[in-house]
Amino acid sequence: MKILLYAKRNLHIPHLEPIRKWFSSNLPEIDCRYSSPPFSQAVDGVTGVGLESWQISSLQNSGGKWLDFTQIHQWKPDVTVMADADFGGIDWGGRVVNVNHGLISKGTFYTKNPVVLRERGANLICVPGPYHAEILRQSIQKPIVITGVLKFDPIFQGVMTREKLRQEYGIPENERVVLFAPTYNLELSAVPVVVDRIRDIVDEKTWLLVKLHGMAPATWIEMYRLLSKLEEKIIFIEDSDLAPPLVASDVVISDVSSAFMEAVILDRPVILVNNPLQRSFAMYDPSDIEYSWREVGVEVDSSQQMLLAVEHALEHPEYKRELRNFYGEKLAGSRDGNAAQRACEAILQLVQFRSAVSVV
């Protein structure tokens, strides 16, 4: 059997890698390879695609096999596994599985918006939690399997631990860590609201990790990179994977990014920055969960309020824990570290029986 892990963007890797690792560990006879479209840089306002050569090397160094894009047709995969519903250009045959890459979507994935119909391009859809399955079921008649969050498997299996990651970052265990993980849309992001004032969080016992979205504008990247050079306790996370800084942190600051939902799943207090332009976002829908579930965190409108909220959250992490548990279960279902197994079993079922069974 041949399985193609097709990473259209680097942020898909953390969701595909658990699948590769599971097959590699449990069914090594399956030929599992990575590929991606030819790389093009993100330009402000236009999404980039593909992987840079260093990202491909990194995958290979981790044990992944690489297949050049031009050879896919010849290789003829039985299944193409993607972490997105963008199936344009997938014309080499075989089944298609979408394992998704986020918990929320800013009006483009788990929504009642007609754009969700593009999910129909997949033969099987893997979703993190019961919430997502319920939403998609209203519009899509394809098999849907609840797997849990794939990229969190190492966390729930105890492989990726807070202590280990803090050590990697060089952060003493007894010091406090705040993660700033905003989205990239100008109308939604926390960045234009807090800008460089995020640095005020840092003090003698508090560190700041800054993890920008892969599509953040170059000006933002520059600003926070420079801040990390100016402040010893600010670390700018270059890697695309949000999971490690999330695990290392005590409190998370975000906006409408799926980062805040990931933080909720991991029971991290969240501070949610509201951008005043939020409602002008083209896909804004107040019923989407990134707006309707904001009670799970503390909402702030300015950098000053953010500072107060962060301080309080660091002192009282138990505040809103119940709500985090409540929503975490809806988002991630079973948090047993076996999300990849469930996804892989569904993929195998798809190939063996030419259809998968919905578990909704």
Partner 1 sequence: MPKVLFYFHNAVHLPVLLPIFHELHADGGFEIAYTFPAYNRELQAGFQEDEESELRKLPVKQVKRPQDWNADITFAGDVIGSLLHGCGIVVNVGHGLLSKGIYYSNNRHINRENLCDLLCVPGPYQKERMLRSGKLFVPIHVTGYPKLDAIFSNRYPPQSEVKKLLRQDPAQKILLYAPTFNPELSSIPILWTRIRHLAKPGRTLIIKLHSATMPEYKRAFQMLAQQQDNILYVDKPDITPYLQASDVMLSDVSSAYMEFAALDKPVVLFYNPNLFEYAHYDRNDPEFAWRDIGIQTQTLEEVDSAIERSLVHPSEFSEQRSKYTEQLLSKRDGNSSSRVIEAAIDHFASRRRIVPVQKPEVTILLDVRGARIDRIKNRTSQLIDETGIKYELWFLANPEQRQQIESIISSLDIVSGSITLAELRKLPQNKFLAVLNIGTEGADRWLFRLLNHVRANDQVGAAFPLAFSASPVQDPITRLGVDQRVSWSQLDKSVRLAQAGNHLRLLSMPRTDCLISGKEFLPEVIEVLQHRESKFSSAFLKQSVLALDVVVKLPGVEISQLQHKDHLDDDELQNAEMRVRELADWIGVITGGGNGNGSSSSHRPNGVYSEEDRDQANGKQSIESHLRLAQHYLKRNNFELARKHINRAQKTDPDNRAVLDLENTLNKLRKQEQQSS
Q: For binding to partner 1 (CB under 8 A), which residues are involved?
A: 43-45, 186-187, 191-197, 217-223, 225-227, 229-230, 275-277, 279-280, 282, 294-295, 298-305, 308-309, 311-312, 315, 319, 322-323, 326
Q: How far is the CB of 305 from partner 1 (least distance, A)?
A: 5
Q: Which is nearer to partner 1, 89 or 276 (CB)?
A: 276
C-alpha triplet 10, 126, 115: angle, nearest 5°:
75
Given the structure tokens 């920008």, which residue do they identify?
A: 212
Question: Smaller CB distance to partner 1: residue 292 or 352?
Answer: 292
86 vs 200, beta carbon nearer partner 1: 200
User: Min. distance of Cβ 193 from partner 1 in angstroms?
Assistant: 4
Which residue number, 60 or 219, has a Cβ lying nearer to partner 1?
Answer: 219
Choice between 162 and 330, CB closer to partner 1: 330
* Tokens (6 digits) for 261: 């939902």
Cα 199 → chain centroid: 24
Look up residue 199 and give its DSSP letter.
Answer: G
Instruction: Decide whether 302 or 338 has the Cβ nearer to partner 1.
Output: 302
With contact defined as beta carbons under 8 Å apart, do 27 and 19 qualify? no
CB of 324 to partner 1, least distance (A): 11
Which residue, 163 or 203, has its beta carbon nearer to partner 1? 203
DSSP reduced 3-state for 110: coil
Shortest Å, Cβ 293 to partner 1? 10
Contacts of 222 (CB under 8 A, 6+ apart): none
Calpha distance 108→260 (Å, rounded): 17
Answer whether 337's CB lies under 8 Å from 155's CB: yes
Shortest approach of partner 1 to residue 279 CB, angstroms? 7
Distance CA 75, CA 228 (A): 44
Q: Scanning the structure block, which residue is given the tokens 């044990």?
A: 63
For helices 339-353 and 13-26, give the axis angle rounded to 10 degrees.
70
CB atoms < 10 A from the CB of 83, how many? 26
Residue listed under structure tokens 């003493």: 172
Q: How far is the CB of 321 from partner 1 (least distance, A)?
A: 11
Query: Cα separation of 321 and 264, whole Å?
Result: 9
- Closest distance of CB 220 from partner 1, Å: 6
